[in-house]
């Protein structure tokens, strides 16, 4: 066996979006080292870090997005590096969803990091971009090698990001659980790949339209009878993939990780991982393993039904909004698996379009929660969300908007996405999946609407509301410095002040807020007497001094809402057409 290494410039051009992301990820690390120190503030806490680094990372995402669009227009859609990476429209379409989620996640980050005093930002954004890079590789993989490489790139980056809030035990726990369970699943997937390699003699997928780089597909077309080795391999592969897309019964990690991870990371990973893994799942099963479809179709059918029913039922009993959204994302994985069962161009196109819609809705919902989450991971229970409309109407409005979209109400993207998916199920000859999908969606509306009802209709409990709304000011008051009070005032009275403090309350002006604080101080202070550390802890929760970057949260929420609305009203016809063409090229 002798080998020569030949890679043409055209090959590199076909993976331009990945190259842009990789370059910017390294650049972010470098710039993090070079940022100047201002005054006595430690360098990594300087205001520049909170602006320059996310801006740079966002530029990277936008650059990758631009490269993707350029490839859509002028790319030849051929595979790069001897059939290892695809640059077809299907991969590019998945890039759109992944990059949208990454961009939104980055926009949500500065305010969150500032509020929780997370200062190691160079790593944070570099890992963010690396994870996006891994997702894109996974979605574009046309060989089991690239698939594995992409999967591990995204996983390794996300393990660290999940455990990024090192002072919060829940975050560490999320990182650990994700790490152990995900590597366990990777081992299964890998063993499946090894056995399929043994059965077919290649790790390449092989393209549908050309025989230039023959792979598993060509072998299976020539030998459609399945051997024991191949069957065991497909089984193990299914387990690995089902874990990655969090299909029931392999979903146990999802709620824990989504709850423990920092909210902007959850916003990104819940969408990105799902999009990448599902596109890879669809490509491997619907396209590559198509000749032996009879062997796996029943298993994936059962997974889809279990996931739809189980995800929605488990979401019903959740009290924490982040866990509820995690189970709802499990349920959405179930809907998406319909597309895999149905297969064909319609099924694949429905998956691609659904993922794009889901990116905006889910990232938006978690982004809204990121403005509520506190350092100790509280703040997202249903009790905390009660009466949110009266305290922070804009935030409640946005959250309700995204929840309604996820539930599938018409003006938002969720409806169009579900419509095309169920339409594909009917057209593909699976009316039972359509029926189960619609019924479980109705079930799903219950928990979304109950959360919305809690925000809009139930007043917050008196005692809780008082302590919640007064404490930031109280912490300042107990510190006994009038100057500190003055520094709070402009923040509360500013137009974006509602996002600046975790619970700014209905205080119209900083002066009124301070007055309330003084009035309530004796009563609350006695109640909190046994815990002298409370004041300090709360002061810490106020975040680092200086600009709060709350406007970034609003920017992200606005963009996500705009995207969700556009996908639901103006764009679906055009985008579904594009998805149909893309699916034919997968």
Q: By the criterion CB under 8 A, which residues form the site for another protein?
A: 1, 3, 144-145, 148-149, 152, 156, 159-160, 163, 166-167, 169-170, 172-177, 179-180, 183-184, 187, 190-191, 193-195, 197-198, 201-204, 255-256, 259-260, 318-320, 323
Nearer to another protein, 109 or 318 (CB): 318
Burial category of 224 from C-beta neighbours within 10 Å (exposed 0-12, middle 13-18, buried 19 and up): exposed
Q: Which residue blocks in 386-430 are alpha helix, DSSP H?
A: 388-391, 393-407, 413-427
Nearer to another protein, 316 or 457 (CB): 316
Nearer to another protein, 77 or 170 (CB): 170
> How far is Cα 233 from Cα 219, in angstroms, rounded to an integer?
15
> How far is Cα 327 from Cα 337, in angstroms, rounded to an integer?
15
Nearer to another protein, 54 or 260 (CB): 260
> How far is Cα 258 from Cα 269, in angstroms, rounded to an integer?
9
Q: Are 120 and 181 in contact (CB under 8 A)?
A: no
- Taking the complex as a whole, the smallest distance from the CB of residue 398 to another protein amounts, in Å, to 25
Burial category of 36 from C-beta neighbours within 10 Å (exposed 0-12, middle 13-18, buried 19 and up): exposed
Nearest to 442 by CA among 413, 422, 457: 422
Q: Are 328 and 315 in contact (CB under 8 A)?
A: yes
- Taking the complex as a whole, the smallest distance from the CB of residue 26 to another protein amounts, in Å, to 17
Query: Which DSSP state fits 532?
Result: T
- Taking the complex as a whole, the smallest distance from the CB of residue 333 to another protein amounts, in Å, to 19
Nearer to another protein, 167 or 461 (CB): 167
Nearer to another protein, 72 or 191 (CB): 191
- Taking the complex as a whole, the smallest distance from the CB of residue 257 to another protein amounts, in Å, to 8
Nearer to another protein, 242 or 421 (CB): 242
Phi and psi, residue 40, nearest 5°: -90, -5
Query: Which DSSP state fits 226?
Result: P
Q: Which residue blocks in 252-387 are alpha helix, DSSP H?
A: 253-260, 263-282, 293-316, 321-342, 344-370, 382-385
- Taking the complex as a whole, the smallest distance from the CB of residue 323 to another protein amounts, in Å, to 6
Nearer to another protein, 261 or 561 (CB): 261
- Taking the complex as a whole, the smallest distance from the CB of residue 353 to another protein amounts, in Å, to 32
- Taking the complex as a whole, the smallest distance from the CB of residue 177 to another protein amounts, in Å, to 7
> How far is Cα 192 from Cα 212, in angstroms, rounded to an integer?
25
Nearest to 526 by CA among 459, 455, 467: 467
- Taking the complex as a whole, the smallest distance from the CB of residue 143 to another protein amounts, in Å, to 9
- Taking the complex as a whole, the smallest distance from the CB of residue 359 to another protein amounts, in Å, to 25
> How far is Cα 546 from Cα 533, in angstroms, rounded to an integer?
23
10 is written with which tokens? 């055209």
Residue 121 has, within 13 A of its CA and on its CB side, a CA count of 31
Nearer to another protein, 49 or 200 (CB): 200
- Taking the complex as a whole, the smallest distance from the CB of residue 552 to another protein amounts, in Å, to 27
Burial category of 555 from C-beta neighbours within 10 Å (exposed 0-12, middle 13-18, buried 19 and up): middle
Nearer to another protein, 318 or 548 (CB): 318
Nearer to another protein, 266 or 478 (CB): 266
- Taking the complex as a whole, the smallest distance from the CB of residue 155 to another protein amounts, in Å, to 8
For the chain, the first-to-last Cα distance in angstroms comes to 31
Measured from the Cβ of residue 459, the count of other Cβ atoms closer than 10 Å reads 10
């Amino acid at each position: 066996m002798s080998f020569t290494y030949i890679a043409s410039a055209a090959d590199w051009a076909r993976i331009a979006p990945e190259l842009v992301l990789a370059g910017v990820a390294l650049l972010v690390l470098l710039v993090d080292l070079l940022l100047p120190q201002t005054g006595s503030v430690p360098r990594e806490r300087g205001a520049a870090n909170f602006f320059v680094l996310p801006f740079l990372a966002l530029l990277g995402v936008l650059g990758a997005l631009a490269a993707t669009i350029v490839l859509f227009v002028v790319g030849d859609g051929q595979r790069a590096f001897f059939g290892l990476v695809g640059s077809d429209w299907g991969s590019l379409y998945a890039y759109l969803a992944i990059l949208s989620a990454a961009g939104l996640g980055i926009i949500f980050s500065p305010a969150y990091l500032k509020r929780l005093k997370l200062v190691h930002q160079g790593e944070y954004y570099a890992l963010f971009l690396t994870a996006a890079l891994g997702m894109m590789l996974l979605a574009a993989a046309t060989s089991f090698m690239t698939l594995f490489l992409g999967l591990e790139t995204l996983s390794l980056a996300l393990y660290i990001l999940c455990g990024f809030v090192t002072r919060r035990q829940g975050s560490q726990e999320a990182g650990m659980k994700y790490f152990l369970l995900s590597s366990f699943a990777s081992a299964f997937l890998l063993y499946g790949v090894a056995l399929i390699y043994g059965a077919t003699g290649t790790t390449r997928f092989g393209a549908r339209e050309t025989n230039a780089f023959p792979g598993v597909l060509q072998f299976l077309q020539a030998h459609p009878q399945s051997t024991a080795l191949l069957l065991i391999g497909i089984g193990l592969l299914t387990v690995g993939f089902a874990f990655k897309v969090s299909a029931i019964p392999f979903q146990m990690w999802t709620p824990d990780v989504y709850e423990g991870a920092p909210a902007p990371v959850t916003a990104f990973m819940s969408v990105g991982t799902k999009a990448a893994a599902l596109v890879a799942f669809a490509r491997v099963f619907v396209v590559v393993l198509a000749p032996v479809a009879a062997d796996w179709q029943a298993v994936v059918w059962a997974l889809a039904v279990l996931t739809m029913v189980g995800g929605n039922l488990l979401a019903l009993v959740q009290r924490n909004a982040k866990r509820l959204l995690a189970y709802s994302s499990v349920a959405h994985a179930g809907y998406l698996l319909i597309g895999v069962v149905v297969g064909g161009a319609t099924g694949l196109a429905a998956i691609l379009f659904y993922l794009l819609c889901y990116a905006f809705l889910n990232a938006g919902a978690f982004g809204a929660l990121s403005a509520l989450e506190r350092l100790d991971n509280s703040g997202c229970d249903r009790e905390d969300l009660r009466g949110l409309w009266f305290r922070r109407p804009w935030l409640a409005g946005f959250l309700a908007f995204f929840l309604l979209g996820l539930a599938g109400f018409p003006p938002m993207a969720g409806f169009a996405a579900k419509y095309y998916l169920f339409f594909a199920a009917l057209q593909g000859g699976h009316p039972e999946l359509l029926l189960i999908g619609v019924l479980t969606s109705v079930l799903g509306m219950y928990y979304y609407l109950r959360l919305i009802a809690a925000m809009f209709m139930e007043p917050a409990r008196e005692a809780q509301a008082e302590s919640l709304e007064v404490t930031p000011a109280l912490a300042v008051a107990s510190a006994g410095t009038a100057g500190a009070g003055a520094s709070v005032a402009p923040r509360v009275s500013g137009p974006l002040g509602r996002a600046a403090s975790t619970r700014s309350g209905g205080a119209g002006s900083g002066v009124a807020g301070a007055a309330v604080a003084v009035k309530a101080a004796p009563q609350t202070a006695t109640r909190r007497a046994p815990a002298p550390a409370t004041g300090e802890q709360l002061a810490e929760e106020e975040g680092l001094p200086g600009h709060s970057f709350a406007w970034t949260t609003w920017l992200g929420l606005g963009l996500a809402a705009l995207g969700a609305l556009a996908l639901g009203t103006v764009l679906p016809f055009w985008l579904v057409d594009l998805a149909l063409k893309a699916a034919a090229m997968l």
